[in-house]
Amino acid sequence: MKKYYFTKLSDKKKKELIKRKAISSDSVKKTVEKICSDVKRNGLKSAIKYANKFDGFSSDNVYVTEKEFSEAEKLLSSEIKSAVKSAYKNIYKFHAKQYPKDYFIETINGVKCGRKFLPIENVGVYIPAGTAPLPSTMLMLGVPSQIAGCKRIVVFSPAKDKINPAILYAAKLCGIKEFIKIGGAQGISLLAYGSDNFKKVDKIFGPGNQFVTTAKSVVSIDPDGCAIDMIAGPSELLVIADNFANPDFVAADLLSQAEHGKDSMVILLTASEDLIRKVGDSLNQQLKNLPRKVFAKATIESSFCMLVDDVNDAFNFSNTFAPEHLILNLKNAKKYLNKVVNAGSVFIGEYTPESAGDYASGTNHSLPTFGFARSSSGVGVEMFMKGVTFQSINKKGIKSLSKTIITLAETESLQAHAEAVKVRLK
């Protein structure tokens, strides 16, 4: 890891360290726009063509069959099924508390206003299948959509022939009945535009590579497309640790994110130079035993640690960076929670690894990256719903509001607005 001294950094250098890499190039955008346009015109036929070209798709059926769902369960060990079930229960328990409550109030006599939360009817869930199968992502997106009560939840994931059985098992727990073996930009396009034999969705959820992310961006600004959850970039982890932290714990946490891929970013902030040295030694040792050490090593080499004067400097940098994941490996870590302003998800104390949130603690691991944690939240039940407002006004109420409405309408030179009230007063 590169090493920096916070007090020696210029403002320009700090901005450079906070800046993320672009996730899409002109060539990627050009390729994606061509795919989106083709699928928009020709539907499922074109999507299958690209799935064959990019993913080697060769299945007889583009849909996962009931038989495949059943076979997937038989292929899994009892240990894996138990782990998936346990994670499902915790994720469900946490997300069930998020279900928003409807409310109605009387703002003034004769004027009643309310807000009712309704599920989005048709949602698409994208599950990547690049360097590793991700049943956890199936749970993180399937559970909140299930709790929200979405009528139709369709899952897309790339495959040559069969979908990973753990993903299918997780999907079945989430009540998924519609699962399509197409991924990439072609999958996103089909979700957004639909086809003669496939109904489009209203909103797409899920992470992916630069082609998937670019496709989500393209369809989200097309009037014929659909909404998306967020623009998701490479995984991020920032650790704030003190001299009480176990260096092996810190190193393990950094590696847990580093192994996602070479585009991931991990950062260590501490006031202890001794901890930096020990963490470096531990990283080298732990790397030797990782099956995905090529990915992890590339990430570690492009990431950095920073020596700060105190914890305040660490939080100032962290809040500006706005990490996807923030670990507080500090003595009495809970007392620092009020210093957290911008972060996707926070992991408090030495026995709270980021991987707990990735899999089974209950919180969601679909979180804002690219610094969007300054203004956005991670995936939750409310993202699969929309709030509809209602108002009911009786004769007494419109009379009470009339002067205010008419004055404001005439101030804005919108006379018809004013007349819509005046006609009711005659």
pLDDT in tens, 314-341: 999 999 999 999 999 999 999 999 999 9
Annotated catalytic residue: which of 95, 236, 260, 325?
Answer: 325
Q: Is the pLDDT of residue 96 over 80?
A: yes
Structure confidence at residue 25 (pLDDT): 82
Structure confidence at residue 374 (pLDDT): 97
Q: What would the pLDDT profile of 244-265 be if each residue is shown by its tens digit? A: 999 999 999 999 999 987 789 9
Least confident of 99-108, 126-135, 307-316, 359-368: 126-135
pLDDT over 90 for what percent of the chain? 93
233-374: same fold as 26-228?
yes
Q: Is the pLDDT of residue 23 over 80?
A: no
Burial status of residue 291 (CB atoms within 10 A of its CB: 0-12, 13-18, 19 or more): exposed
Structure confidence at residue 217 (pLDDT): 96
Q: What number is the average pLDDT over the span 82-103?
A: 98
Using 50, 70 and 90 to split pLDDT, how confident is the model at 133? confident
Which is nearest to 140 in space by CA: 406, 379, 352? 379
Q: What number is the average pLDDT over the span 394-423?
A: 98
Using 50, 70 and 90 to split pLDDT, how confident is the model at 97? very high
Annotated catalytic residue: which of 68, 236, 259, 324?
Answer: 324
Domain 233-374 CATH class label: alpha beta
Is residue 325 annotated as part of the catalytic site, yes or no? yes
The correct CATH number of 26-228 out of 3.40.50.1980, 1.10.1760.20, 3.30.1490.20, 3.10.350.10 is: 3.40.50.1980
Structure confidence at residue 317 (pLDDT): 97
Q: What would the pLDDT profile of 156-206 be if each residue is shown by its tens digit? A: 999 999 999 999 999 999 999 999 999 999 999 999 999 998 999 999 999
Q: Is the pLDDT of residue 22 over 90?
A: no
The chain-wide mean pLDDT, for the chain, equals 96
Using 50, 70 and 90 to split pLDDT, how confident is the model at 220? very high
Structure confidence at residue 86 (pLDDT): 98
What are the structural domain ranges in the chain? 26-228, 233-374, 395-426
Using 50, 70 and 90 to split pLDDT, how confident is the model at 60? confident
Structure confidence at residue 99 (pLDDT): 98
- Decide the pairing of beta strands 304-307 and 203-205: unpaired
Structure confidence at residue 21 (pLDDT): 82
Structure confidence at residue 42 (pLDDT): 96
Using 50, 70 and 90 to split pLDDT, how confident is the model at 12? very high
Q: What number is the average pLDDT over the span 126-150?
A: 93
The span from the first CA to the last CA of the chain, in angstroms, equals 76
